[in-house]
Amino acid sequence: MFLINRKEAVKNKQALASSDIKIGFDLKSLIKELKKEDLGLAGPIFDLKIAGWLLDPDQKDYSPEALSRRFLRRWAPESPELFSSLFDFLDKKIKEFELVKVFEEIEMPLVKVLAGMEERGIRVDKSVLTGLSRELAAEIKNLEEKIYKSAGSVFNLNSPKQLAEVLFEKLKIGQGPAPGQARYGASKKRSTEAQYLESLREKHPIVGLVLGYRELFKIKSGFVDPIIDYLGSDNRLRATFNQVGTATGRLSSEKPNVQNIPIGTAWASKLRMAFEAAPGFSLAAFDYSQIELRILASVVKDKKLKKAFFDDQDIHKLTAGNVFNVNLDKVTPAMRQLGKTLNFGIIYGIGADAFARTAGLSRGEARDFIDEYFSDFPKVRIWQEEVKEQARTLGFVKNLNGRRRLFLEMASPASRYQHEEERAAINMPIQSLAADIIKMAMIKTFSLGDGVNLLLSIHDELLFEIKDDILNKTADLIKKTMEGVFKLDVPLKVDVKIGKNWGELIPHP
C-alpha cells in the first residue's frame, strides 16, 4: 500500500489495519497525523526517505524529488508511480548492500518509537524557566558591564571580529602564535573559538568574563527562551527527532535541539531542573558508560583494553599510566584528564595538531603521546589502517551491523579533504555502532507497559518517566535490557540515575 498523504490514507482505513507493507515518505509524521484520527499503521512499513538516507547518508536533501534525481536519474513529483519506482530501486539496493538488518530491525521499528516519543513529550515547569530567564538576563548584563569596563570600550560581544580586535589588538592578549596552530586568516587575527580562548584564560581577566558571558548567553538564547516558546498548552516539550540528520546514524533533534542541552555547570543544572516527572512518576536516566571505547576495544580485539573493561578498571587512568609509563597509583588527576582526552581523540582519528590544541600541549608533545599510545595499544593502529584501506579500495566503511558510509573521494590522492575523510572513516564503525545500540535499546524498552514512558534520547542516554510504584523493578529491567541488547567482546555497562527532575538525579543502587 502506497501512502502519499494523510487524506488518501484515511480513505482506506481497512488497508491501514492489514498486514500488508505500507510504503510512504516520512512515515513518522504520517503516523502522528493518523493518531489524531485514532488510526495506526499495522504490519511492516517502508519509509522511502530513510531508505534513501541509509544508502547514502551524506546527502543533504532527502525529499522525494531529490531521491528521484539521485537514484532514478529523473525528476518526478510525488505520486504513486514515483513511490513505486523508488520502492523498487531502494528495496533492491538495500538487499544488495546487505542493509536489510539495519533497515528492517532498527530503522523501521524506530519510526514508531520516535513518533510515540514526540507525541508524549516531557513535562516542563514553565515557572522555573521564566525565573531562570530573568536571572540569566541580570547576570548577562552584569558580565557585559564588567567586560566593557575591562576592555575600556563598548563593543558587540557577539561579533567575533570586534571581539578579536579588542582581545588581540587593543589588549594584545596572547602575543605570538597560538599553541599548536598558526595565526588564523589573511588578516592575522586570532581565533575567538572557546577552545583557544580557554588557553588564554590566565593571560587576562577579560577572557574568563567573555567565556562566562558566552555560556550564559547560549543557555538563555539557545535553550531557556526557545523551550518556553516551544512548550505546549499542557506544559510538555515535544522536540522533533530526526532519523536522517547525521551520516553515522546518530539521532539529531530540533525545536529545540535537546541533544545539546548543556550539562556539568551550575546554570546547566538549573535548566535541567525545569524538566520534571509528572505527579506519581519519577525520571530515570540510563546512560551507556564509555560505549564507544568499549566498541573500540571489541572491534580491535586488544587484550589490554578488553581486560580493562572486564575488570571494570578506570580506562582513562589505565591509558594515562601507559603513556606516562607510571603505575596506576601514581596517575594524577591531570594525567588522567590527558588520558581521557587521548582516549576519545583516538576514536575520532585525532592528529597531533588537534590533540595539541585540545590538551594544551606543543605539537611535539602531542605527537609523542599519540605514538606512545599506539606503542601500548598496537592493535588500535593496525585496525585504523585497515579501515582507511577499506575506505580507499571499496569506497565505503561498514560497522558490525552492516551500516555503511561512503568515502568515494578517499580513492583519489588529490582529494583536498584526505585527512578529514580518514578521520571520519576511522570514527564511522565506532560511532555508528553506538548509534545502532542506543536505537536497539529504545526499541526494546519502548513498550514495557503502562507507567513506563520513554521521553528522550540524548546521545548515549535514555530518559524515562516511570510510575513510582514500579520504579525500582522497572529500572532494573531497563538496565538489564540495555546491557544485553548487543553482544560485544566486552560487557556493556549502563549507569542509572533517578529523581523527580532532570537536574537532581541521584545514582540508583
Residues 140-174: tens digit of each pLDDT = 999 999 999 999 999 999 999 999 999 988 998 87
Which amino acid belongs to residue 119?
Answer: E
C-alpha–C-alpha distance, residues 341 and 320, integer Å: 10
d(CA 320, CA 263): 25
pLDDT of res. 188: 41
Q: What is the pLDDT of residue 346?
A: 87
Amino acid 376 reads: D
Identify the pLDDT of residue 197: 86
Among the listed residues 446, 457, 501, 400, the one whose alpha carbon sits nearest the alpha carbon of residue 128: 501
- If we measure between CA atoms, which residue out of 28, 460, 74, 80 comes closest to residue 285? 460
pLDDT of residue 187: 38
Residue tagged 507493507 (cell numbers): 21
Query: 180 — phi, psi (to 5°)?
Result: 75, 10
The packing angle between helices 363-376 and 352-359, to 10°, is 110
Give the residue ranges of the chain where pLDDT is below 70.
175-190, 413-417
Per-residue pLDDT at 414? 66
How far apart are the C-alpha atoms of 462 and 258, rounded to whole Å? 12
Could you give all domains of the chain from N- to C-terminal order, each with its CATH number?
A: 2-97 (3.30.420.10), 126-230 (1.20.1060.10), 274-291+438-507 (3.30.70.370), 292-417 (1.10.150.20)
The H or E element spanning position 452 is strand 452-458
| Three-class DSSP labels, 382-444 | HHHHHHHHHHHHHCEEECCCCCEEECHHHHCCCCCCHHHHHHHHHHHHHHHHHHHHHHHHHHH
pLDDT at 191: 81
What span, in angstroms and rounded, lies between the C-alpha atoms of 313 and 127? 43
430 grid coordinates: 565506532
